């Protein structure tokens, strides 16, 4: 474990009555740097939590915001549930897929983009909506998306799934 | 024993039948008592209710929704319906869901015929599937590890297996990954499901998802004949059933005896039977001619051996070794053979470090562990030497908040918290005496520091169980004195002794020791101990040795001495199932039957005598030890001493054993005699650390007996290793995975280096009982040894190339 | 008709209430002062009980009563705030988190005082990263001004709030799954009993309350239980934020008195339907609720009135669907949602949910058959009511209600081997 991670781990462990509570925040912290939950992170987290690596992996695999393998740095998550569907999510999804050339759950070969259709993001009044690396964008039209995509293309999100 | 508050009895009605059960009983159990079987998948009586599968739905009057019987406690006056139309509808629904994506590959499924999914579908299921689209697919034939194969498509996600690994084994390596209908049973990425208890999951899996490699595609359950047997791989004596087909063992199955095994068996017990069908199994006697073993008939072998033994006996120069791997009847027959037929007291079953196989007082039962508040393990490596006892310890610690104190030279790998007290021979007896003193002088004078802390834990404990390995007589006496003290002060205490062999206790009680007859009868005289017999033989002072079911060449601590003895003794006869290292020296080898091939009794470590039935016939030229001994008696004209009839012998043995239970502190059981060489002393530890002190460590799958020849077990045997403390490893310049040659007093062995903090500095923990690297080459008769580590260059090179001596 | 004077949403949109000074300017923290200086914990609890406040997280359980279940046995107690909002169509807690964090903090502190909690845990949905940051900043500001930490406002009351971020799982909104998740485990609901009041977080007595529920508490303390109880129906009074989305002119969060008619909400608050459209169905209480229809527009929006209509207020996610909406497509998004979010522990939810979602998807794709229709119309009985937690019971209500109401629409998908609405959906998107 890097000294930074050790520091983080002890901070997290101190925060809770039991150390296993630090597991998920610690994995989020590691993912923010590594881009996904590595086996090393699983083993470190297991040690911190006092559980087996098998258990740590089982826990991590339950949560959709923890990625078990490398995914594109720009994570684009478009809502697909009822309220967004009623206000144009289908069209937006189609557009995004086509612009990115990606299907649901796919990453671009250059590792820059990841596309996913996700469940209700609690922004139904400003539908359709999406998240880019957990940042909300509301009332997104296809044109809005094109604009955003240009911005993203020009940028490099060092941290793709921020922890804090 | 801690008292549970008395529970009220409640009366309820189930399907019109009244049943009275204690408060807190689950409806599913109450129904069982009333004679109704409510179907269950996830529920298992040994584990916490999980409420996952929902097949156990019942209708309870006054509650609108159907309830699950597995997590609903009874109430007074409750009216339960387990067969109403609504219940039937609910069950049908659950079964329809479970079958939706089930592959329905029953014709090739090992569980076919004993599968709860088949059975419940037959009784309660829908007639036809309404699924009109292709089934979802999941991985099939997933290799989970050395013992188990998993079919994810057949899995109904009841989680009995993962809950077993968590709640019962406390190992938590088998888990559920992903979620929803993507859920899969799994281990951590890339790791095997390795557990000494893995086989149990195949039994409790209600469907054919988990199957054992040993039994896959081998038989259909309805073709099997069953025999109720007892496992003799260790001294716990788990009850199991041997299932055979056309006289060949196909598998073994638990046969719950709550008091002994709680319904589980370990993998060594479960899977050790295929050695019977290996070429290495002795199928007929061997006689050494011109230095070569030649096949012989049973009668030939008996005739030659009987004659040689008689001649030696006439000179009073014969010794008998064994008993710990025989049945009670056979152990009794063996001492009859020594004392009545050959007229000698030179008999001993102790061919390892163990001296005592029972406590002299304060005897405990395995079940007492369940209520213990403090468990003191004294040298015994319970996970390796008594795995099912260890499960009880784990439960007591993890789920009943017992404290665990491990007194030993190193700390074994335990999945539960445990406090380690370092054991230095000699010093430990002193510590026990100090503790007894402090306990005696009461709380005020306990003072501070380590001794006081432990004393405080002892004083606070409501019930104390000590588990020891019967090895260090001085320390054991001190421990027993401490227990006396605690007992005086009204602490319930109990002692369990883990046997060195499956029937060590039975052999001791049957009189396979030089100074005690059957039933611990004090003879007032003594023959030689095994160690003394080996010393005599090595000195050319013993004319013949008969060894029954023992492999001292591997297990006796002073390997150098025993090998010399076996070579030098003019006549050696060995009875065993396989050609062991010891049998290889023999002039006459008798082919002995396995436990599956005979019937009788065995006594487990708590003194419980259990009957086992014969499952299969032995090969023609193979005789049980009883038959062999009876044939000797007959040949030597003393057939009255050993009738070839287990029942008759058992009756005699029972008669003499009546008074043989451990008694009070004032009147303890007499002890088997211990010879001088066995007494360990503190000054043997080499404080300069110039050399390494050798501590042999047991592993479940190590050993030189039958299991070593079992292909299934062999696949799981660890390679010979020595574990060094990281500081030592750094000092001598070795890393994990290197090969080193350990040079000791009686030779050298080549082992792989492991590095780990469990090894104290200056100590090498060396895997015991491995024929290809016998640690006893390095040890003396007290079990003490030291060695220099010799580093070798290449891991693969064999024999290792010596380049550098460091120590 | 006069608009209801907002209570929980007061100032939002006019003031930046993430600034503690603005919050104080609106009277913020006065209730905390009052509770700590003038009231005993019992008195605070009494006031909340008397207000008849019912939980805003979905189940509508009386808050005072929930608090009173805690055993008095000296073990530490925990208060957990549920900000995992992921119920389809619900977005009020998201708003409160990002725009009224101090109201949540104040409500939590007063609630913790009332139940004598040892510690507060704030569980924030993993996707709400911005809200999480805002809340953390708010905590820092509150701490700086002595509203948080040791000896709050100079009294003997000390309290801290641990913020825990979710990691993507709707089920963690279920209270026992949330406790598992905080404990660092898989977010799987626990088998009950025991209930959290007895064995909750880390096995200790625990109360879980929704963000909106705790946000009500300062106002009850400040203005009194009588004031609160006088708003709306006697058995479930108070102001309530309804999240309106779907086919209305002005979707948004609207704070209304409990019990206002659905019609008023749509027309007076949300700007009505689009011109020329007719109402087809409303999901009044989030994705888990059964639909109501045109004839139900006079039903009061509150726990009891909606329960009488065999649906529920739930979390207050009010989704309006007009006549351009395909009911099969709508059902598809929701059944797929539950399939995706099922934890997988129990059979009916895991297997039944997956089956239903596949059948509905096939119908929508034009690959359905008669048998699917038969199964869908009977499967409710075996899926609903047989599960370990309410998620499994949420799969069928909407689907069953629209299938009952529009059977021909489902049949058309089979007969025409496709969705007759595809054009309609596109039209709705264009608007
Ligand atoms: C599947 C499921 C999801 C839930 N999600 C939420 C949620 O996101 N937020 C919430 O406050 N309550 C949610 N609940 C309700 C909680 O279990 C719990 O009843 C609530 O937090 C209690 O708070 P209250 O009494 O203040 O309403 C959910 C319940 C279920 C069964
Ligand atoms: S493998 Fe067997 S025991 Fe394990 S969850 Fe699946 S069905 Fe149950
Ligand atoms: S046996 Fe009761 S839910 Fe599985």
Task: Give me ligand 3 centre to Cα B40, in Å.
Answer: 5
- Looking at beta carbons, which residues of chain C come within 8 Å of B49? 191
CATH number at residue A109: 3.40.30.10
Ligand 2 atom 6 nearest Cα = B155
Q: Using an 8 Å Cβ cutoff, are B209 and B160 in contact?
A: no
Q: Which of residues 431-460 of B touch C (CB under 8 A)?
A: none
Question: Is pLDDT above 80 for A96?
Answer: yes
Q: Answer whether A42 sits within 8 Å of B189, measured CB to CB.
A: yes
Mean pLDDT (whole number) for B732-760: 90
Q: Answer yes or no: pTM beyond 0.90.
A: yes
- Which residues of A fall within a CB distance of 8 Å from C344? none
Contact B174 A54 (CB under 8 A): yes
Residues of chain B in contact with residue C340, where contact means CB-CB under 8 angstroms, are 180
**C20-229: what fold?**
Rossmann fold (3.40.50)
Residues B579-608 have a mean pLDDT of: 97
* Cα distance between residue A151 and residue A145, in whole Å: 10
DSSP string, B41-109: SS--TTS-----S-TTEEEETT-SS-EETTS-B--TT-EEESSSHHHHHHHHHHHHHHHHT----GGG-
Cα gap B435→B171, rounded to integer Å: 33
DSSP lists the bridge partners of residue B744 as: B747
Full strand arrangement of the beta sheet holding B493-497: B419-422, B403-408, B374-378, B464-468, B493-497
Summarize pLDDT for B505-552 with one digit per residue, the tens.
999 999 999 999 999 999 999 999 999 999 999 999 999 999 999 999
Count of Cβ atoms closer than 10 Å to residue C19 Cβ = 14
* Residue A43 and residue A94 in one domain: no
The secondary structure of residue B670, as a DSSP letter, is P
B210 Cα to the center of ligand 2, angstroms: 7
Average of per-residue pLDDT across B464-485 = 92
* Distance, CA of C142 to CA of C28 (rounded, Å): 11
By most ligand atoms within 8 Å of CB, the mutation choice from C210, C211, C288 for ligand 1 is: C210
Indicate whether A120 and A84 sit together in one domain. yes
> Is residue A117 assigned to a domain?
yes
> Are residues C394 and C387 in contact, defined by beta-carbon separation less than 8 angstroms?
no
Residue ranges with strand state E in C299-412: 317-322
In the numeric block, which tokens belong to residue A160?
């793709």
Residue A98 lies in a domain: yes
The verdict on C143 touching B (C-beta cutoff 8 Å) is no
Instruction: List ligand 3's pocket residues with C-beta within 6 A.
Output: B 40-43, 51-56, 68, 70
pLDDT at B132: 87
For the segment(s) B136-277, the CATH number from 3.50.50.60, 3.40.190.80, 3.40.50.300, 3.30.70.20 is 3.30.70.20
Ligand 2 atom at shortest distance from the alpha carbon of B42: 8
C184-227 pLDDT, tens digit each: 999 999 999 999 999 999 999 999 999 999 999 999 999 999 99
Q: Which ligand does the CA of B150 lie closest to? A: 2
Q: Tell me which residues have their CB closer than 6 angstroms to ligand 1.
A: C 55-59, 61, 63, 66, 82, 84-87, 171, 173-175, 208-210, 213, 389-391
Chain B residues with CB under 8 Å of A51 CB are 172
Give the residue from C184, C206, C316 with the most A CB atoms within 10 Å of its CB, the best one to mutate: C184
Residue B626 CB–ligand 2 contact under 6 Å: no
Whole-number Å distance between alpha carbons of B375 and B465 = 5
Six-digit token pair at C204?
């200790």
Q: How many CB atoms lie within 10 A of CB B578?
A: 22
Quickly count: other Cβ atoms within 10 Å of residue C263's Cβ.
15
Q: Which of B88, A31, B667 is nearest to C126 (CA)?
A: A31
Shared domain for A89 and A133, answered yes or no, is yes
* A64 contacts in chain C (CB < 8 Å): 167-169
Query: Is the complex ipTM higher than 0.90?
Result: yes
DSSP single-letter state for residue B706: G
Question: In this structure, is residue A162 part of a structural domain?
Answer: no
Q: Provide the residue count of chain C.
A: 431
CA quadruple B525, B529, B534, B538: dihedral sign: negative
Check if B186 contacts A (Cβ < 8 Å): yes
Q: Work out the average pLDDT over C347-360.
A: 97
User: What residues in A contact B172, CB-CB < 8 Å?
Assistant: 51-52, 54-55
Asked if the Cβ–Cβ distance from B132 to C353 is below 8 Å, we say: no
Q: Predicted confidence band at C301 (pLDDT cuts at 50, 70, 90)?
A: very high
pLDDT at res. B4: 54
Residue B791 structure tokens: 């580093």
**Would you call the peptide bond into C193 cis, given omega within 30 degrees of 0 as the criterion?**
yes
Contact B175 A53 (CB under 8 A): no
Taking the centre of ligand 1 as the mean of its atom positions, its distance from the CA of residue C246, in whole angstroms, is 23
The alpha-carbon gap from B183 to the nearest alpha carbon of chain C, in Å, equals 7
For residues B150 and B659, which has the higher predicted lDDT (pLDDT)? B150
Q: Which CATH architecture group holds B681-802?
A: Beta Barrel (2.40)
| C-alpha gyration radius of chain A | 17
Which among B95, B158, B199, B206 is the best mutation to test ligand 2's pocket, defined by most ligand atoms within 8 Å of the CB? B158
Q: Which domain holds residue A108?
A: 74-155
Q: Which of A120-129, B18-27, B414-423 has the lowest mean pLDDT?
A: B414-423
Tell me the CA–centroid distance for residue B403 and ligand 1, in Å.
39
| Interface check B171 vs A, CB under 8 A | yes
Strands B374-378 and B184-186: unpaired
User: Which of ligand 2's atoms lies nearest the C-alpha of B41?
Assistant: 8
Closest listed residue to residue C269, CA positions, set C293, C242, C247, C287: C242
pLDDT surpasses 80 at B357: yes
The number of the ligand 3 atom at minimal distance from the alpha carbon of B42 is 4
Which CATH entry fits the domain spanning B286-353+502-657: 3.40.50.2300, 3.40.50.300, 3.40.50.740, 3.30.590.20? 3.40.50.740
Q: Verify that A9 and A51 share a domain, yes or no.
A: yes
Site from B28, B42, B133, B185 to mutate, C interface, most C CB atoms within 10 angstroms: B133
Determine the Cα–Cα distance for residues B121 and B117; give it in Å rounded to an integer: 6
**Atom number in ligand 2 closest to CA B174:** 4
Residues A34-68 have pLDDT tens digits of 999 999 999 999 999 999 999 999 999 999 999 99
CATH 3.30.360.10 fits B366-497, yes or no: no
- CATH of residue A26: 1.10.10
A161 belongs to a structural domain: no
CATH of C327-430, one of 1.20.1440.230, 3.30.870.10, 1.20.200.10, 3.40.1440.10: 1.20.1440.230
Confidence of residue C126 (pLDDT cuts 50, 70, 90): very high
* Domain C239-322 indexed as CATH 3.40.630.30: no
CB pair distance less than 8 Å for C355 and B131? yes
Task: Name residues 154-193 of chain C within 8 A of B (Cβ).
Answer: 169, 186, 191
Distance CA C398, CA C282 (A): 10
Residues of chain C with CATH 3.10.20.600: 239-322
B303-317, B399-413, C107-121: least confident range:
B399-413
Q: Which residues in chain C are closer than 8 Å to B133, comparing Cβ atoms?
A: 358, 362
Q: Tell me which chains share at least 3 CB pairs under 8 Å with chain A.
A: B, C
In sequence order, what are the beta bridge partners of B19? B12
Q: How many CB pairs under 8 A join B and C?
A: 98
A131 CB burial (10 A radius; 0-12, 13-18, 19+): buried
Torsion of CA B218, B220, B221, B227, to 10 degrees: -50
Domain ranges of chain B: 9-83, 136-277, 286-353+502-657, 366-497, 681-802
pLDDT band at B806, cuts 50/70/90?
very low
Q: B178 — contact with chain A (CB < 8 Å)?
A: yes
Nearest by Cα to C340 from C179, C125, C171, C90? C171
| Domain annotation covers residue A96 | yes
Which residues in B lie closer than 8 A to residue C381 (C-beta atoms)? 89, 93
CB-count exposure of residue A155 (10 Å: 0-12, 13-18, 19+): exposed
The answer to whether B172 faces chain A, any CB pair under 8 Å, is: yes
Residue position matching structure tokens 């160690």? B531
In chain C, where does the domain assigned CATH 3.40.50.11540 lie?
Answer: 20-229
Q: Is the Cβ–Cβ distance between B305 and B632 less than 8 Å? A: yes
pLDDT in tens, B160-186: 999 999 999 999 999 999 999 999 999
Residue B799 has pLDDT above 80, yes or no: no
What was the pLDDT predicted at B82?
Answer: 97
B267, B240 contact by CB (below 8 A): no
pLDDT over 90 at B660, yes or no = no
DSSP, collapsed to helix, strand or coil, labels residue B639 as helix
Query: Which CATH architecture fits B9-83?
Result: Roll (3.10)
Buried (b) or exposed (e) across B283-296, using 16+ Cβ within 10 A? ebbbbbeeeebeeb
Give the pLDDT mean for C69-76: 96
pLDDT surpasses 50 at B803 = no
Across the interface, of C191, C358, C371, the residue whose CB is closest to B51 is: C191
Q: Which subunits have 3 or more CB–CB pairs within 8 Å of chain C?
A: A, B
pLDDT value of residue B425: 63
Q: Which of C344, C375, C381 sits opposite B130 (nearest CB)?
A: C375
Interface membership of B98 toward C (CB under 8 Å): yes
* Residue A163: inside a domain: no
Does A79 lie in the same domain as A29?
no
B186/A58 CB distance under 8 A: yes
B60 lines ligand 2 (CB under 6 A): no
> pLDDT at position C342, please?
98
* R_g (Cα) of chain B, nearest Å: 28
How far, in Å, are B205, B286, C220, C232 from residue C53 at the CA level? 48, 90, 9, 11
Tell me, yes or no, whether A43 and A79 share the same domain.
no
Q: How far is B149 from chain A (nearest CA, A)?
A: 18
Confidence of residue B447 (pLDDT cuts 50, 70, 90): low
Per-residue exposure over B755-766, b if at least 16 CB sit within 10 Å of its own CB, e if not? beeebbebbbbb
Work out how many domains chain A is built from and give that number. Answer: 2
A69 found inside a domain: no
Q: Mean pLDDT across chain B, nearest whole number? A: 91
Residue B733's pLDDT band (boundaries 50, 70, 90)? confident
Q: Does C381 touch chain B (CB under 8 A)?
A: yes
Looking at residue B689, its pLDDT comes to 39
| Spacing, Cα C266 to ligand 3 middle (Å) | 45
**Chain A within 8 Å of B176 (Cβ-Cβ)?**
yes
Using an 8 Å CB-CB cutoff, list chain B residues near C186.
Answer: 176, 179
Is the CB of B67 inside 8 Å of chain C's CB atoms? no
């Amino acid at each position: 474990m890097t000294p930074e991670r050790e520091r983080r781990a002890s901070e997290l462990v101190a925060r809770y009555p039991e150390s296993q509570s630090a597991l998920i925040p610690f994995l989020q912290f590691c993912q923010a740097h590594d881009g996904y939950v590595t086996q090393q992170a699983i083993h470190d987290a297991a040690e911190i939590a006092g559980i087996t690596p098998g258990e740590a992996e089982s826990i991590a695999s339950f949560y959709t915001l923890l990625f078990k393998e490398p995914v594109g740095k720009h994570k684009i998550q478009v809502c697909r549930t009822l309220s967004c569907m009623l206000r144009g999510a289908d069209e937006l999804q189609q557009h995004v897929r086509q612009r990115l050339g990606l299907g649901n759950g796919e990453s671009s070969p250059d590792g820059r983009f990841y596309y996913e259709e996700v469940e209700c993001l609690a922004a139904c009044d400003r539908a359709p909506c999406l998240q880019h690396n957990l940042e909300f964008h509301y009332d997104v039209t296809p044109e809005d998306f094109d604009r955003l995509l240009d911005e993203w293309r020009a940028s490099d999100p060092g941290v793709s799934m921020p922890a804090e | 024993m801690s008292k549970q508050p008395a529970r009220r009895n409640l009366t309820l009605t189930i399907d019109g039948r009244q049943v009275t059960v204690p408060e807190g009983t689950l409806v599913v159990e109450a129904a069982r008592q009333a004679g109704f079987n409510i179907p269950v998948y996830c529920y298992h009586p040994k584990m916490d209710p999980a409420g996952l599968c929902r097949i156990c739905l019942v209708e309870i009057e006054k509650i609108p929704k159907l309830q699950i019987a597995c997590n609903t406690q009874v109430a007074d006056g409750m009216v339960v319906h387990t067969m109403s139309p609504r219940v039937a509808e609910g069950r049908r629904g659950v079964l329809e869901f479970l079958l939706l994506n089930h592959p329905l590959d029953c014709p090739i499924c090992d569980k076919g015929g004993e599968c709860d999914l088949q059975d419940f579908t037959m009784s309660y299921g829908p007639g036809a599937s309404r699924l009109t689209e292709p089934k979802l697919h999941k991985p099939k034939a997933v290799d989970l590890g050395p013992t188990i194969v998993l079919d994810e498509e057949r899995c109904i996600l009841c989680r009995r297996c993962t809950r077993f690994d968590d709640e019962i084994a406390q190992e938590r390596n088998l888990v559920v990954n992903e979620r929803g209908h993507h859920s899969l049973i799994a281990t951590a990425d890339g790791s095997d499901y390795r557990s000494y208890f893995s086989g149990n999951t195949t039994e409790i899996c209600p469907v054919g998802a988990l199957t054992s490699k040993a039994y896959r595609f081998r038989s259909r359950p309805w073709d099997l004949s069953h025999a109720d047997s007892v496992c003799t791989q260790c001294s716990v004596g788990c009850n199991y059933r041997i299932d055979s087909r056309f006289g060949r063992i196909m598998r073994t199955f638990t046969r719950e005896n709550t008091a002994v095994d709680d319904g589980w068996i370990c993998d060594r017990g479960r899977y050790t039977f295929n050695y019977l069908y290996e070429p290495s199994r002795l199928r007929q006697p061997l006689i050494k001619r011109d230095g070569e073993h030649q096949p012989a008939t049973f009668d030939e072998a008996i005739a030659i051996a009987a004659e040689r033994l008689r001649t030696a006996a006439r000179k009073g120069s014969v010794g008998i070794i064994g008993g710990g791997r025989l049945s009670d009847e056979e152990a009794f027959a063996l001492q009859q053979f020594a004392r009545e037929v050959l007229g000698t007291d030179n008999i001993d079953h102790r061919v390892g470090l163990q001296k005592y196989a029972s406590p002299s007082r304060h005897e405990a039962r395995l079940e007492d562990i369940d209520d213990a508040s403090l468990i003191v393990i004294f040298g015994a490596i319970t996970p390796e030497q008594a795995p099912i006892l260890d499960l009880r310890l784990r439960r007591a610690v993890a789920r009943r908040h017992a404290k665990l104190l491990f007194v030993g030279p190193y700390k074994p790998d335990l999945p539960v918290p445990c406090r380690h007290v370092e054991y230095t021979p000699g010093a430990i007896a002193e510590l026990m005496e100090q503790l007894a003193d402090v306990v005696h002088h009461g709380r005020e004078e306990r003072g501070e520091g380590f001794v006081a802390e432990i004393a405080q834990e002892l004083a606070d404990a409501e019930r104390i169980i000590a588990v020891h390995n019967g090895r260090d007589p001085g320390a054991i006496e001190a421990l027993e004195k401490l227990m006396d003290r605690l007992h005086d002060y009204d602490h319930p205490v109990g002692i369990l002794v883990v046997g060195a062999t499956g029937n060590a206790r039975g052999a001791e009680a049957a009189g396979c020791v030089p100074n005690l007859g059957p039933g611990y009868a004090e003879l007032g005289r003594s023959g030689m101990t095994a160690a003394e017999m080996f010393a005599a033989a090595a000195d050319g002072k013993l004319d013949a040795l008969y060894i029954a079911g023992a492999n001292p060449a591997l297990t006796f601590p002073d390997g150098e001495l025993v090998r010399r003895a076996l070579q030098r003794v003019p006549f050696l006869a060995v009875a065993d199932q396989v050609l062991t290292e010891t049998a290889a020296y023999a002039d006459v080898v008798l082919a002995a039957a396995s436990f599956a091939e005979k019937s009788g009794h065995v006594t487990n470590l708590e003194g419980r005598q259990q009957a086992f039935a014969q499952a299969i016939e032995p090969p023609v030229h193979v005789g049980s030890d009883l038959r062999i001994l009876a044939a000797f008696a007959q040949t030597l004209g003393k057939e009255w001493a050993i009738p070839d009839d287990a029942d008759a012998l058992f009756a005699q043995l029972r008669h003499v054993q009546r008074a043989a239970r451990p008694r009070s502190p004032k009147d303890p059981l007499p002890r088997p005699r211990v010879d001088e060489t066995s007494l360990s002393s503190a000054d043997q530890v080499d404080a300069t650390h110039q050399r390494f002190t050798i501590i042999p460590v047991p592993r479940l799958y190590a050993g030189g007996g039958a299991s070593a020849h079992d292909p299934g077990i062999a696949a799981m045997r660890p390679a010979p290793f020595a574990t060094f403390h990281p500081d030592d490893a750094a000092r001598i310049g070795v890393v994990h995975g290197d090969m080193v040659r350990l040079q000791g007093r009686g030779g050298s062995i080549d082992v792989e280096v492991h590095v780990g903090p469990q090894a104290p500095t200056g100590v090498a923990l060396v895997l015991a009982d491995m024929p290809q690297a016998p640690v006893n080459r390095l040890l003396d008769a007290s079990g003490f040894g030291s060695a220099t580590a010799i580093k070798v260059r290449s891991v693969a090179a064999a024999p290792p190339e010596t380049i550098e001596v460091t120590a | 008709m006069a608009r209801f004077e907002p209570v929980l949403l007061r100032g939002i949109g006019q003031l930046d209430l993430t600034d503690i000074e603005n919050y104080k300017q609106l009277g913020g923290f006065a209730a905390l002062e009052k509770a700590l200086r003038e009231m005993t914990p019992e008195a605070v609890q009494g006031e909340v009980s008397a207000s008849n406040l019912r939980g805003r997280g979905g189940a509508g359980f009386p808050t005072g009563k929930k608090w009173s279940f805690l055993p008095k046995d000296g073990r530490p107690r925990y208060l957990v705030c549920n900000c995992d909002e992921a119920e389809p169509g619900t977005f009020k807690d998201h708003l409160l988190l990002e725009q009224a964090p101090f109201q949540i903090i104040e409500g939590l502190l007063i609630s913790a005082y009332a139940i004598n909690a040892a510690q507060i845990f704030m569980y924030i949905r993993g996707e709400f990263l911005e809200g999480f940051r805002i809340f953390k900043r708010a905590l820092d500001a509150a701490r700086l001004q002595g509203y948080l930490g040791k000896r709050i406002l100079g009294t003997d009351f000390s309290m801290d709030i641990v913020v825990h971020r979710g990691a993507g799982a709707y089920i963690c909104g279920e209270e026992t799954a949330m406790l598992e998740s905080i404990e660092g485990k898989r977010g799987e609901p626990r088998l009950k009993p025991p209930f959290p009041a007895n064995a909750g977080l880390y096995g200790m007595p625990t109360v879980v309350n929704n963000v909106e529920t705790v946000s009500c508490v300062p106002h009850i303390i400040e203005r009194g239980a009588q004031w609160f109880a006088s708003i709306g129906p006697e058995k479930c009074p108070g102001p309530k934020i309804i999240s309106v989305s779907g086919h209305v002119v002005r979707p948004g969060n609207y704070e209304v008195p409990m019990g206002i008619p659905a019609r008023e909400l749509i027309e007076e608050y949300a700007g009505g339907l689009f011109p020329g459209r007719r109402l087809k169905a409303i999901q009044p209480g989030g994705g888990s609720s059964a639909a109501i229809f045109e004839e139900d527009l006079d039903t009061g929006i509150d726990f009891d009135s909606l329960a009488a209509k065999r649906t529920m207020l739930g979390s207050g996610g009010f989704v309006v669907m007009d006549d351009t909406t395909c009911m099969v497509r709508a059902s598809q998004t929701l059944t797929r949602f539950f399939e995706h979010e099922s934890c997988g522990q129990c059979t009916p939810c895991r297997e039944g949910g997956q089956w239903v979602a596949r059948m509905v998807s096939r119908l929508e794709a034009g690959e359905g058959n008669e048998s699917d229709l038969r199964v869908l119309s009977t499967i409710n009985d075996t899926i609903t009511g047989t599960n370990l937690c309410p998620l499994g019971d949420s799969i069928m209500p909407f689907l069953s209600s629209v299938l009952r109401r529009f059977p021909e629409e489902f049949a058309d998908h089979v007969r025409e081997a496709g969705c007759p609405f595809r054009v309609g959906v596109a039209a709705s998107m264009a608007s």
